[in-house]
C-alpha cells in the first residue's frame, strides 16, 4: 500500500533549488531577472546550510538515486553542498549520481572538492557547461567565452595536481536569430562547430585535467519562444544547410529514438516523455514541483517584483499577469498526503497516455495548414501528420511548458507546432537516410 506522504517508487531523481542569483544576463533565460533575486538567493543559501532540504527529500522519496542542483548558477553554492555530501550519501544509500549545469563564468574550484568527495563514495559526477558556440558572448554576456576557457584551464590544473580529470559536456542553445545567420551563411555553421574545437585546443595545451572526447556540439532551440511560420521556414533552411554539410542535430537523435523503439510507443509512452513528474521531481519552499522549471514561482515577493517592473525583458513574463502562474502554483505543486496523491495522478495522465496529446496536435496542424501557417502537406498526408505529432511530444515533451503556454499539460504550444511544420520536419527526416549517415562527421568536439 502506497504511503500518502511519499512519492511513488518510480521517483528516484530529485532536483533541489540551490541558487537564486546569476551573474549572467542571457537573452532567452526563462527566469525573469529582478533586484529581488539577490535577497532570494541569500534565503536559499541559508536554508541549504541547515540541511532542511535533505529532511524534505527523506520525507517524500522512497529512494534517491540521482540528485541535481538547480536554480540560476549552482557554482555559487557548491561549497555548501560539499560540506553535506557525506551526510547525503549516508541518508540516501542508493545515490548513484550528482549533477548540475553551469555557465562556467565563476570560480570553478568547488568542483574539485565535490568530485573528490563523490569519488570516495563511488558516486558519479555529471555536469555540463552552457556555451552557445561563437554566439556565446552575444547570447549570454560579453566576455563569457574567455571566462569559460580560463576557468576550464584553472579547473584542469587543479585536477591535474591531484592526478585526476573530468570530462566536459556542452549545452548549447541557439535563438532564431542565431539560426537565421547560419541559414543565410553556411560558414556560420562551421564557425559554430569550430568554436568548441578552439576552446578544446587552448585548454588541452595548458592542462591534461579536462577531457573533451565525448563533448558533443549539438545545440538545442530556445524554449520557450514565440515562433512564427516564417521562423519555421528559417529553421528548415538551417537544417537543409546542416544536411548538406553532413552534420547531425540533437533532434535527429530524438527522432531516431522514436523510430528505434516504435514497438514501445503504445505500451510505454512514458519512455518518450520527459522525466519531470515521472521519475524526477523538484523541491523548493517545501513544495514538490514537476521539475526545476517552476522553481521560484511560489515565492510571492519575487513574483511581485516581476509584476512591478516597468519594462519586461523575458517574453513569458506576461504569464504572471494573466494568472497562469497562479493556477500552476495552486494545481501543479504539492506538499504531502492527499494533495501529493492528486498531484501524481494528474501527471501520470500526462506520461501514460498519448491519444489526447497527439489528437490535439494533429488537429492544430490541420487548422494551421488551412490558414497558411503550416505546410499544406499536413492537410493531405496523415502519416506525416502523425509522425510530426509523435516527434513533437517526444522531443519537446515538457508538461510545464505546455501548461504555461496553453493552460493544459497535454497540449503543445502552437508556437512549436508552427516552427516544425513549415519544412523543418521534412529536412530533419533527411538525416535518417543511409546516404546522410555515411557522410556525417564532426558530431564530437574531441574527434570523429
What pLDDT digit, counting tens, does each position of 40-54 carry? Answer: 999 999 999 999 999
Per-chain mean pLDDT for the chain: 90
Average pLDDT over residues 397-401: 93
Average pLDDT over residues 195-216: 94
pLDDT for position 225: 76
Q: How far apart are CA 21 and CA 35, in angstroms?
A: 9
pLDDT for position 446: 29
Secondary structure of residue 224 in the 3-state scheme: coil
**Whether pLDDT at 441 is above 50:** no
pLDDT for position 443: 36
**Whether pLDDT at 23 is above 70:** yes
pLDDT for position 5: 82
Element spanning 219, H or E = strand 219-221
Whether the CB-CB separation of 56 and 2 falls below 8 Å is answered with no
Handedness of CA 87, 151, 40, 406 (dihedral sign): negative
pTM score, two decimals? 0.91
pLDDT for position 316: 62
User: 241-250, 298-307, 319-328: which has the minimum mean pLDDT?
Assistant: 319-328
The predicted-structure confidence for 130-166, as pLDDT tens digits, reads as follows 999 999 999 999 999 999 999 999 999 999 999 999 9
pLDDT for position 313: 58
The predicted-structure confidence for 54-105, as pLDDT tens digits, reads as follows 999 999 999 999 999 998 999 999 999 999 999 999 999 899 999 999 999 9
How many Cα atoms within 13 Å fall on the side-chain side of residue 309? 19
Residue 177's pLDDT band, with cuts at 50, 70 and 90, is very high
User: 16-20, 316-320, 365-369: which has the minimum mean pLDDT?
Assistant: 316-320
**Joined grid coordinates for residue 29:** 533565460
Residue 444's pLDDT band, with cuts at 50, 70 and 90, is very low
Q: Largest alpha-carbon pair distance within the chain?
A: 64
pLDDT for position 442: 38
Q: How far apart are CA 296 and CA 282, in angstroms?
A: 11
Q: How many CB atoms lie within 10 A of CB 38?
A: 10
Domain boundaries defined on the chain: 13-334, 354-431
Q: How far apart are CA 387 and CA 97, in angstroms?
A: 34
pLDDT for position 312: 58
Please list the residues that pair with 125 across neighbouring strands. Answer: 98
More confident residue, 223 or 183: 183
Q: Phi then psi for 307, rounded to 5 degrees?
A: -65, -25
The predicted-structure confidence for 96-142, as pLDDT tens digits, reads as follows 999 999 999 999 999 999 999 999 999 999 999 999 999 999 999 99
pLDDT for position 435: 55
Handedness of CA 410, 416, 422, 425 (dihedral sign): negative
**Whether pLDDT at 9 is above 80:** yes
**Whether pLDDT at 440 is above 60:** no
Average pLDDT over residues 163-170: 95
Query: Percent of the chain at pLDDT above 70?
Result: 94
Domain 13-334 sits in CATH at 3.20.20
pLDDT for position 311: 65
Residue with C-alpha cell 519552499?
A: 285
Average pLDDT over residues 392-408: 92
Whether the CB-CB separation of 393 and 443 falls below 8 Å is answered with no
Interior angle at CA 45, CA 44 and CA 46, nearest 5:
95
More confident residue, 442 or 184: 184
Amino acid at each position: 500500500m502506497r504511503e500518502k506522504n511519499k512519492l511513488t517508487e518510480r521517483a528516484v531523481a530529485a532536483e533541489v533549488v540551490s541558487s537564486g542569483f546569476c551573474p549572467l544576463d542571457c537573452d532567452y533565460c526563462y527566469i525573469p531577472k529582478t533586484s529581488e533575486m539577490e535577497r532570494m538567493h541569500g534565503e536559499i543559501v541559508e536554508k541549504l546550510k541547515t540541511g532542511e532540504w535533505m529532511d524534505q527529500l527523506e520525507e517524500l522519496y522512497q529512494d534517491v538515486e540521482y540528485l541535481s542542483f538547480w536554480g540560476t548558477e549552482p557554482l555559487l553554492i557548491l561549497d555548501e553542498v560539499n560540506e553535506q555530501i557525506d551526510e547525503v550519501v549516508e541518508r540516501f544509500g542508493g545515490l548513484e549520481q550528482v549533477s548540475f549545469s553551469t555557465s562556467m563564468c565563476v570560480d570553478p574550484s568547488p568542483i574539485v572538492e565535490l568530485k573528490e568527495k563523490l569519488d570516495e563514495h563511488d558516486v558519479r559526477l555529471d555536469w555540463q557547461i552552457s556555451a552557445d558556440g561563437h554566439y556565446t558572448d552575444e547570447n549570454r554576456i560579453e566576455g563569457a567565452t574567455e571566462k569559460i576557457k580560463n576557468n576550464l584551464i584553472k579547473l584542469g590544473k587543479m585536477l591535474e595536481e591531484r592526478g585526476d580529470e573530468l570530462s566536459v559536456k556542452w549545452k548549447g542553445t541557439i535563438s532564431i536569430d542565431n539560426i537565421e545567420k547560419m541559414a543565410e551563411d553556411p560558414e556560420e555553421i562551421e564557425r559554430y562547430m569550430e568554436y568548441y574545437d578552439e576552446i578544446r585546443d587552448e585548454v588541452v595545451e595548458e592542462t591534461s585535467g579536462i577531457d573533451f572526447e565525448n563533448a558533443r556540439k549539438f545545440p538545442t532551440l530556445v524554449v520557450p519562444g514565440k515562433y512564427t511560420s516564417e521562423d519555421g521556414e528559417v529553421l528548415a533552411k538551417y537544417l537543409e544547410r546542416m544536411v548538406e554539410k553532413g552534420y547531425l542535430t540533437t533532434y535527429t537523435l530524438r527522432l531516431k529514438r522514436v523510430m528505434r523503439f516504435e514497438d514501445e510507443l503504445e505500451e510505454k509512452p512514458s519512455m518518450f516523455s520527459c522525466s519531470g513528474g515521472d521519475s524526477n521531481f523538484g523541491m523548493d519552499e517545501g513544495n514538490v514541483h514537476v521539475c526545476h522549471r517552476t522553481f521560484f514561482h511560489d515565492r510571492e515577493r519575487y513574483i511581485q517584483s516581476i509584476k512591478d517592473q516597468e519594462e519586461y525583458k523575458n517574453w513569458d513574463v506576461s504569464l504572471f499577469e494573466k494568472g497562469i502562474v497562479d493556477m500552476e502554483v495552486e494545481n501543479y505543486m504539492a506538499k504531502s498526503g492527499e494533495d501529493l496523491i492528486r498531484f501524481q495522478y494528474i501527471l501520470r495522465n500526462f506520461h501514460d497516455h498519448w491519444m489526447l496529446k497527439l489528437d490535439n496536435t494533429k488537429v492544430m496542424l490541420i487548422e494551421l495548414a488551412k490558414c497558411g501557417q503550416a505546410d499544406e502537406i499536413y492537410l493531405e498526408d496523415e502519416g506525416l501528420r502523425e509522425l510530426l505529432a509523435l516527434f513533437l511530444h517526444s522531443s519537446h515533451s515538457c508538461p510545464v511548458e505546455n501548461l504555461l503556454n496553453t493552460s493544459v499539460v497535454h497540449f503543445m504550444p502552437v508556437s512549436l507546432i508552427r516552427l516544425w511544420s513549415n519544412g523543418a520536419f521534412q529536412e530533419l527526416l533527411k538525416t535518417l537516410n543511409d546516404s546522410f549517415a555515411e557522410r556525417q562527421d564532426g558530431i564530437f568536439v574531441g574527434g570523429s
